[in-house]
């Protein structure tokens, strides 16, 4: 049997964007949201009103689950055909439903914050709500930390035209800019994203260098405008925090990621101590490229030679067979997902770029979207996205309020799958070019997570500390950036990227401040788990599943303590994880020395 290369969406709602069933589903959801909004406020929480509270909460979760389901479906439709205008319309229409639902939750959380602790805890102890107590407590705690409901509502409304508008302005400025780039005698018009992949991925060093120079020049031109976006949105955030009485800019991102400050500090301390091991990798790679020291644009330069003509079916079989050696449960899920048409992998035009995995909670199913082009990268992406799918799958029978996990642990299962498959491939290939290419790929990740993201975090923290006393000029921002890069890269590069603060979209995402450290946390968390899984062998399987099942109902420290028996606020776990990541340096250096 040949495996399907297109996903099957008709079992979710038949008929794609013209589905009458989907139209009915959305109409009902719209009506139910309006009815929920029209309900009178909840009465004071007492033993007598407890059941009314339970009904309201169940209704909120029911609406959330249905809206999530609808959003996943339209997300799939839009991605599989970017020219499906009807799908885009349907997707856009859900925005207002999301805003309404958010208002309902905010109203509920504010009311919950006003209730006495004893009555609240009695409510959460009921059989109906105990499984979602963690999530409900989070809503209430957050409301307690904020200003009174009407002031928060005003901030949210002003943020739409102020705070978040700077984010949108950045997207327009960076997204609409085009440049002329000459290659092989032909001048091409490119977006800044395309130019960036030229300076990182082009095999020809001269092309990389020219692309990087043009990239920096272009951002020099845009810097005065985007520095306003950065300064003003930071000002908005700092003012809001000041009124709420929040002293640290890390309070919000740490809360959003269910993490303690001690954990973050322990992680960065270990990285600061150990990441200079990557300097040996830089030296070996410089030797390979033929330069004394790597400049910024050579760090990701392609080396080695990875196979690029995989058939999808072979790639799928490789993923399943090798995951089976580590955990048959994951392998069975992957086989089922691939054979049942849960994966859209066809290489055709008209599809959205990139890859993702989405959950359809009303069906207990997931769907994976990607474009498989036969490269090793495609094989690895398949393993990665199926890891997300598996994570969603083990959560499928939990109450919806216990299914939401944060960015910090979102990449646990995906990175785990990727590691298993990459190591299996490394062990099986006898081709030196392939081995070198794979090791370089893994070490490229190490540089990204242990150095590049560390520089972003240090920059952002320092920027906010200084911004509290006034705006920073373009030059000051660039100086700050280079300083952070030199520290994170242990002075190991010949040239840095001063305007990185301007070119990196992540600094401008107002809905997720400090969109950096959760990446490094997740990467190392998964490596630590992978190291433990290798040591524990088959016995680890059940612990892994139990850990994934609790990602929606525990903070990260409790999750690690309960299922791995480790204390994330102490260095030991991070040392194991970082050592696991850095173990590839020696074989890479040895290979280069033998060449
Ligand atoms: Zn992922």
Phi, psi of 62 (to 5 degrees): -60, -45
* Cα 559 to ligand 1 centre (Å): 20
Query: Residue 241: enclosing H or E segment and its boundaries?
Result: helix 205-244
179: which strand partners? 190
548 pLDDT higher than 80 = yes
* Cα 448 to ligand 1 centre (Å): 15
Average pLDDT along the chain: 95
Mention every residue, 6+ apart, whose C-beta is less than 8 A from residue 163. Answer: 233, 236, 237, 510
CA angle at residue 121 from 119 to 124, to 5 degrees? 115
Distance of CA 86 to the CA centre of its chain: 28
**Mean pLDDT calculated for residue range 220-240:** 97
**What is the pLDDT at residue 157?**
85
463 pLDDT higher than 90 = yes
- 43: DSSP letter: P
* Cα 221 to ligand 1 centre (Å): 33
In the structure, what pLDDT confidence band is assigned to residue 96 with cuts at 50, 70 and 90?
confident
Q: Is 65 helix (H, G, I), strand (E, B) or coil?
A: helix
* Cα 385 to ligand 1 centre (Å): 6
C-alpha 204/C-alpha 91 separation (Å) is: 41
* Cα 43 to ligand 1 centre (Å): 42
* Cα 415 to ligand 1 centre (Å): 7
CB 70 within 8 A of CB 26: yes
* Cα 370 to ligand 1 centre (Å): 12
Reported residue count of the chain is 595
**What is the pLDDT at residue 516?**
95
C-alpha 86/C-alpha 74 separation (Å) is: 10
Mention every residue, 6+ apart, whose C-beta is less than 8 A from residue 10. Answer: 16
C-alpha 280/C-alpha 215 separation (Å) is: 28
* Cα 361 to ligand 1 centre (Å): 19
The protein residues having their C-beta less than 5 angstroms from ligand 1 (an ion) are: 414
**What is the pLDDT at residue 2?**
85
* Cα 405 to ligand 1 centre (Å): 13
**What is the pLDDT at residue 99?**
87
CB 415 within 8 A of CB 523: yes
**Mean pLDDT calculated for residue range 331-360:** 95
* Cα 307 to ligand 1 centre (Å): 23
**What is the pLDDT at residue 210?**
96
CB 368 within 8 A of CB 337: yes
* Cα 143 to ligand 1 centre (Å): 30
In the structure, what pLDDT confidence band is assigned to residue 1 with cuts at 50, 70 and 90?
low
* Cα 463 to ligand 1 centre (Å): 28
* Cα 411 to ligand 1 centre (Å): 5
If one counts every other C-beta atom within 10 angstroms of the C-beta of residue 475, the result is 11
C-alpha 545/C-alpha 470 separation (Å) is: 49
* Cα 219 to ligand 1 centre (Å): 29
- 448: DSSP letter: I
* Cα 416 to ligand 1 centre (Å): 10
One-character DSSP codes across 137-157: HHHHHHHHHS--HHHHHHHHH
Query: Residue 187: enclosing H or E segment and its boundaries?
Result: strand 186-191
pLDDT in tens, 425-443: 999 999 999 999 999 999 9
Range with the poorest average pLDDT among 95-104, 219-228, 567-576: 95-104
* Cα 230 to ligand 1 centre (Å): 27
* Cα 391 to ligand 1 centre (Å): 11
* Cα 112 to ligand 1 centre (Å): 34
C-alpha 423/C-alpha 419 separation (Å) is: 6
CB 126 within 8 A of CB 54: yes
Range with the poorest average pLDDT among 56-65, 534-543, 578-587: 534-543
Mention every residue, 6+ apart, whose C-beta is less than 8 A from residue 315. Answer: 372, 378, 379, 382
C-alpha 286/C-alpha 584 separation (Å) is: 17
* Cα 440 to ligand 1 centre (Å): 20
Phi, psi of 179 (to 5 degrees): -130, 160
**What is the pLDDT at residue 464?**
98
**What is the pLDDT at residue 149?**
84
In the structure, what pLDDT confidence band is assigned to residue 57 with cuts at 50, 70 and 90?
very high
Q: Is 154 helix (H, G, I), strand (E, B) or coil?
A: helix
**Mean pLDDT calculated for residue range 352-370:** 94
* Cα 301 to ligand 1 centre (Å): 23
In the structure, what pLDDT confidence band is assigned to residue 175 with cuts at 50, 70 and 90?
confident
Token duo for residue 26 = 């959305």
194: which strand partners? none
C-alpha 117/C-alpha 119 separation (Å) is: 6
150 pLDDT higher than 90 = no
**What is the pLDDT at residue 538?**
81
Query: Residue 190: enclosing H or E segment and its boundaries?
Result: strand 186-191
**Mean pLDDT calculated for residue range 510-526:** 94
153 pLDDT higher than 90 = no
**Mean pLDDT calculated for residue range 29-44:** 96
* Cα 388 to ligand 1 centre (Å): 7
* Cα 519 to ligand 1 centre (Å): 10
**Mean pLDDT calculated for residue range 60-70:** 98
* Cα 186 to ligand 1 centre (Å): 36
Q: Residue 36: which of 58, 13, 6, 15 has the closest Cα?
A: 58
What ranges in 81-132 are assigned the alpha helix state H? 85-114, 117-124
CB 5 within 8 A of CB 346: yes
Q: Indicate the pairing of strand 365-369 with strand 343-344.
A: parallel
Q: Is 453 helix (H, G, I), strand (E, B) or coil?
A: helix
* Cα 572 to ligand 1 centre (Å): 26
* Cα 298 to ligand 1 centre (Å): 25
* Cα 406 to ligand 1 centre (Å): 12
C-alpha 550/C-alpha 561 separation (Å) is: 12
* Cα 296 to ligand 1 centre (Å): 25
pTM for this entry: 0.93
């Amino acid at each position: 049997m040949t495996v399907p290369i297109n996903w099957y969406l008709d079992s979710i709602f038949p008929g794609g964007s013209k589905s009458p069933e989907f139209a009915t589903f959305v109409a009902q959801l719209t009506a139910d949201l309006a009815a929920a909004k029209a309900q009178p406020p909840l009465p004071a929480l007492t033993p007598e009103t407890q059941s009314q509270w339970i009904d309201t909460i169940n209704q909120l979760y029911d609406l959330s689950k249905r809206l999530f389901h609808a959003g996943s479906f339209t997300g799939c439709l839009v991605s599989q055909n970017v020219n499906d205008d009807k799908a885009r319309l349907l997707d856009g229409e859900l925005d207002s439903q999301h805003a309404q639902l958010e208002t309902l939750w905010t109203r509920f959380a504010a009311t919950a914050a006003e209730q006495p602790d004893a009555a609240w805890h009695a409510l959460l102890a009921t059989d109906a709500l105990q499984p979602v107590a963690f999530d409900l407590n989070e809503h209430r705690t957050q409301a307690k930390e904020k200003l009174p409901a009407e002031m928060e509502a005003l901030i949210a409304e002003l943020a739409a035209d102020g705070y978040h508008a700077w984010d949108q302005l950045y997207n327009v400025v960076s997204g609409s800019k085009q440049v002329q780039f000459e290659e092989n005698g032909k001048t091409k018009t490119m977006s800044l994203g395309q130019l960036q992949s030229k300076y990182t991925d082009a095999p020809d060093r001269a092309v990389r260098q020219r692309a990087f120079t043009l990239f920096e020049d272009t951002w020099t031109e845009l810097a005065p405008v985007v520095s306003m976006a950065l300064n003003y949105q930071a000002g908005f955030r700092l003012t809001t925090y000041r009124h709420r009485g929040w002293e640290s800019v890390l309070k919000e991102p740490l809360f959003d990621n269910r993490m303690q400050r001690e954990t973050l500090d322990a992680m960065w301390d270990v990285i600061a101590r150990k990441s200079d091991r990557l300097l040996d990798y830089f030296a070996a790679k410089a030797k390979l490229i033929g330069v004394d020291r790597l400049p910024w644009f050579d760090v990701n330069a392609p080396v080695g030679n990875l196979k690029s003509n995989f058939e999808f079916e072979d790639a799928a079989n490789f993923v399943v067979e090798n995951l089976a050696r580590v955990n048959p449960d994951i392998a069975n899920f992957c086989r089922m997902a691939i054979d049942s048409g849960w994966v859209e992998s066809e290489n055709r035009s008209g599809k959205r770029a990139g890859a993702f995995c989405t959950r359809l909670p009303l069906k207990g199913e997931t769907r994976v979207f990607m474009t498989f082009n036969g490269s090793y990268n495609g094989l690895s992406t398949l393993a990665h996205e199926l890891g997300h799918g598996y994570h969603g799958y083990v959560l499928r029978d939990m109450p919806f309020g216990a299914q939401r996990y944060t960015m910090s642990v979102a990449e646990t299962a995906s990175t785990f799958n990727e590691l298993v498959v990459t190591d299996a491939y490394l062990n099986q290939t006898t081709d030196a070019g392939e081995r070198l290419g794979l090791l370089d790929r893994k070490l490229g990740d190490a540089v990204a997570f242990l150095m590049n993201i560390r520089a972003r975090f240090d920059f952002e923290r320092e920027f906010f500390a200084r911004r509290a006393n006034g705006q920073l000029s373009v030059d000051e921002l660039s100086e700050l950036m280079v300083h952070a890069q030199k520290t994170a890269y242990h002075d190991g590069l010949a040239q840095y990227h001063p305007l990185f603060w301007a070119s990196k979209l992540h600094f401008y995402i107002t809905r997720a401040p400090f969109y950096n450290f959760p990446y490094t946390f997740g990467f190392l968390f998964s490596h630590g788990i992978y190291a433990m899984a290798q040591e524990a062998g088959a016995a680890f399987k059940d612990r892994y599943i139990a850990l994934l099942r609790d990602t929606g109902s525990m903070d990260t420290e409790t999750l690690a303590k309960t299922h791995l028996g480790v204390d994330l606020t102490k260095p030991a776990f991070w040392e194991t994880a970082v050592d696991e990541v850095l173990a590839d340096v020696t074989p890479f250096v040895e290979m280069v020395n033998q060449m």
